[in-house]
Amino acid sequence: MAENKIPYKIYLDENEIPKQWYNVRADMKNKPAPLLNPQTHKPLKAEELYPIFCKELVAQELNDTDAYIDIPEEIQDFYKMYRPSPLIRAYFLEKALDTPAKIYYKFEGNNTSGSHKLNSAIAQAYYAKKQGLKGVTTETGAGQWGTALAMACSYFGLDCKVYMVKVSYEQKPFRREVMRTYGASVTPSPSTTTEVGRKILEAHPGTSGSLGCAISEAVEVATKTEGYRYVLGSVLNQVLLHQSVIGLESKAALDKYGVKPDIIIGCAGGGSNLGGLISPFMGEKLRGEADYRIIAVEPASCPSFTRGKFAYDYCDTGMVCPLAKMYTLGSGFIPSANHAGGLRYHGMSSTLSQLYHDGLMEATSVEQTAVFEAAEKFARVEGILPAPESSHAIRVAVDEALKCKETGEEKTILFGLTGTGYFDMVAYQKFNDGEMSDYIPTDEELQKGFDGLPKVD
């Protein structure tokens, strides 16, 4: 290994952390369709979003013309706490696979939230603070977003109210405790603290909750409590904008060594990690400056890209949020209990949906047993225990590298390793005990979700 010129880990200098986010929408010929008012089905005006989101974040949400947006200095300072994140050359994995492919991954798990979520959490907390708010509300499923937001709010002295899907609240007490350690209040959802929560509990007394319900509770509290707004960790344009630091750093690190990836791979739930990782590369592609093969990887149990419809849909099951045009399984689709909680969302970022629709990226789906096989192999040779979500990207990166072994091609593969799996050991245990099963929804099951799509002219 000593003879390799490219180090195992490429760290940028601190002054090379991006000072501007990149807004890929500015370079898109076909812009993502606008958000619609869920009642009137008319495009939403900024003012209509102010009761839910901070003003500056609304501006970012709607901005599809400025390619670069300055990162405020306070956020740049916070980024120095855990960024730049390393771009790692997977020498050990390449050797284990005996592949001529060159594999790189951007590791975003080296912070206490355990994932890339902190990149947007700190931005959203900053704008809330700047607007003079008292606090923010949000929902969390797997818990990485909630943890990231708790950390960000603690830094700016904001109150943070997290609605955590009840089943996760009970099964992941340690995640909950990390959030509490950072000063957040964590409420199992559905709860009796909201109108929508009480209604759901009345209708379904034994329910273990869902992300859609938790969103509705968090939105209700934000809109009804003075000095509070709601924040979201994925799907939204603003989140992809903040997450562009992943791709910008990756590109800067590769450029230092004159490396161009052939294939870029990311897991896709709501799209925050994938959108962030690919954005500057997609920008080059949109401007005709370079070409890349870009692959979104989703769980076979929740296949929005690969089996969903490109249509307007509700972002939440409570149907209180704006309508977004996206690849969706329908807001009524209940994903099976796949262990990659972060990928169990019925829809997909509007921006990524448009890019996929326009043929600028591919998508594929994988089953969870195959995902954990790749995760364990990766952990053993690369030393990092990956999150189940991230392992979807690992699976496809490994498969592409094995194809190179067959063909002898020396392709360069870049994938996003979004986080660590320390709080997912229940899933690893199932895998270690041979008790993990796969599940693929039938066409009939998917049809039920599609039947609930709103009719938009």
Q: Are 421 and 431 in contact (CB under 8 A)?
A: no
Local structure of 83: helix, strand or coil: coil
Interface positions, 398-437, toward its own copies (CB under 8 A) = 420, 422-423, 425-426, 428-429, 432
Q: CB 156 → its own copies: shortest distance, Å?
A: 11
Cα Rg of the chain, angstroms: 21
| 206 interacts with its own copies by CB under 8 A | no
Establish if 324 lies at the interface with its own copies (CB under 8 A): no
| Cβ pair 144, 115 in contact under 8 A | yes
Concatenating the DSSP letter of every residue in 345-400 gives -S---HHHHHHHHTTSSEEEEE-HHHHHHHHHHHHHHH---B-HHHHHHHHHHHHH
When the beta carbons of 110 and 208 are compared against its own copies, the nearer one is 110
CB nearer its own copies, residue 107 or residue 163: 107
Q: Kindly state the smallest distance separating residue 170's Cβ from its own copies, in Å.
A: 14
Contacts of 166 (CB under 8 A, 6+ apart): 188, 189, 190, 207, 208, 209
Using CB under 8 A, count the residues that bind its own copies.
Answer: 46
**CB closer to its own copies, 313 vs 382:** 382
SS3 state of residue 313: strand
- C-alpha 214/C-alpha 284 separation (Å) is 38
Q: Which one-letter amino acid corresponds to residue 291?
A: D
Instruction: Give CA–CA dist 345/140, Å, rounded.
Output: 12
Applying CB under 8 A, among 167, 286, 320, 381 the residue interacting with its own copies is 381
376 is a contact residue toward its own copies (CB under 8 A):
yes
* Residue written as token pair 């952390």: 17
**Residue 156 binding its own copies, by CB under 8 A:** no
Contact mark string toward its own copies, 86..125, x via CB under 8 A = ------x-----------------xxx-x-----------
Please select the residue that binds its own copies; options are 125, 160, 384, 401, rule is CB under 8 A: 384
Closest CB to its own copies among 37 and 76?
76
Residues at the contact surface with its own copies, assessed by CB under 8 A: 1-2, 7-9, 11, 13-14, 73, 76-77, 80-82, 92, 110-112, 114, 151, 154-155, 173-174, 177-178, 180-183, 376, 379-385, 420, 422-423, 425-426, 428-429, 432
